[in-house]
Amino acid sequence: MKNPVWKSGLPYPDHDRMLSPEGMSRVLAHDGRDDLLPFLNDCAITVYKNKLYLAWYNSTNTEIGGSSLIRGRWSDDEGLSWSAPFRVVGEANFDEEHFVPPSLFVHEGKLYAVVTRMGHNSLTDQTDSLDLYVMRDENDWRKVSALGGGLVMTAAPVLMDNGCYAAGVWMSKRDETPSFAAVFISQGMDIEKPWRCVPVYDPLLPGALDLRCAEIGIIVDGAQITAYVRDDIGHPGDPSGGGHAYVFVSSDYGESWSPPVLMDNRIGNAKLYAGKLSSGCRYVIYNDDRGFFDRSLLLIAATEPGEMEYTKVYKVFEDGIPEFGGRGYRWFYPCSIEYKGRLYIACTMEEAGHVRSAAVARIPVESL
């Protein structure tokens, strides 16, 4: 089996030679300049009843600072315009609990959100629970269960052929236990029961990976799961240091995993997102490595249909965007969904004054 990394012998292109996908358009789905809540991150996107649903978390202060809550918008015209914001959970005047990344998915005709809940001391990424919410209408979301604790979910659950859902999750460093990546697996179709956590590697073994932010994106293809795990190798004192990513493969629905393989792509310090298109192409969305936490270029790499090795890479967001009047200089924490012949990529946009908004790229699948 070929490795799910950049194709051997094929030069990885310099970013100056990369093009954008043909026919791509970009939309500002939520404008932070018009919002009383200045901090935004961790977008999630899905399709439900012929609408695109976008969600994110806001904070009244800095990252996971002050009050935090999950909010969203919907679009019924294929992402060209977006509704007024709605609230999933959280209050702007309550700081005893923090609600951070939402993950959206549809199950048995209902729209669900998995929300990571943290306590008051949240800057250590110590989480209390992954809570499951169901939408009754856009302004009425109800918590139905707690799926597990101690984990952060930053990507949507995917239904596997064995009738279970799988989602990438990670745990931050706790005392002597390093940060590690895992898959979170449901008990079949009964998604309200607690889910199981299966690490993709044992962080306590001698010589095991020691990762700072082990955020994970997965591709499900039959019994096979491919996991892409972030690894930061830079630090604030070394502006030239960025990151890279490891790839793991399971052939038994996530129960056991191969040793890690290092990706050849230049991966920056940021979350990755992965998926598979209806065309049979696999893709990974990530920031180009331009130095420590330089997130000025967001890319998508793709395979040929039915292949695992990546051979193509395209620019999605870079520097100021013409459609946004030249706004934006950082683009990060992507998510995606395919709908009506397009891949929709949502991400955080940051601009001068640390204003953050939610941006969406609309890419024809045939262009990838």
**Is 7 part of a structural domain of the chain?**
no
**Is 137 part of a structural domain of the chain?**
yes
pLDDT band at 22, cuts 50/70/90? Answer: very high
Q: Among 120-129, 276-285, 357-366, which is the least confidently predicted range?
A: 120-129
**Is 10 part of a structural domain of the chain?**
no
Q: Among 91-95, 112-116, 195-199, 218-222, which is the least confidently predicted range?
A: 91-95
**For residue 289, what pLDDT is reported?**
85
**Is 230 part of a structural domain of the chain?**
yes
Supply the range of the domain harboring residue 219: 15-367
Task: Kindly state the average pLDDT of the residues 40-69.
Answer: 89
User: What CATH number is associated with residue 154?
Assistant: 2.120.10.10
Q: Among 38-42, 96-100, 168-172, 217-221, which is the least confidently predicted range?
A: 96-100
> Is residue 98's pLDDT more than 60?
yes
**For residue 174, what pLDDT is reported?**
73
**Is 34 part of a structural domain of the chain?**
yes
Instruction: Write down the pTM of the prediction.
Output: 0.95
Per-residue pLDDT reduced to its tens digit, 182-240: 999 999 999 999 999 999 999 889 888 888 889 999 999 999 999 999 988 755 555 55
**Is 9 part of a structural domain of the chain?**
no
**For residue 97, what pLDDT is reported?**
80
> Is residue 132's pLDDT more than 60?
yes
Structural domains counted in the chain: 1
Per-residue pLDDT reduced to its tens digit, 243-269: 789 999 999 999 999 999 988 788 888
- Average pLDDT score over the chain: 91
3-state percent breakdown (helix, strand, coil) of the chain, nearest 5: 5, 50, 45
**Is 174 part of a structural domain of the chain?**
yes
pLDDT band at 177, cuts 50/70/90? Answer: confident
CA distance 71 to 59: 11
Contacts 24+ apart (CB under 8 A), 183-186: 183/216, 183/218, 183/225, 183/227, 183/250, 183/254, 184/130, 184/147, 184/148, 184/151, 184/153, 184/157, 185/253, 185/254, 186/157
**Is 6 part of a structural domain of the chain?**
no
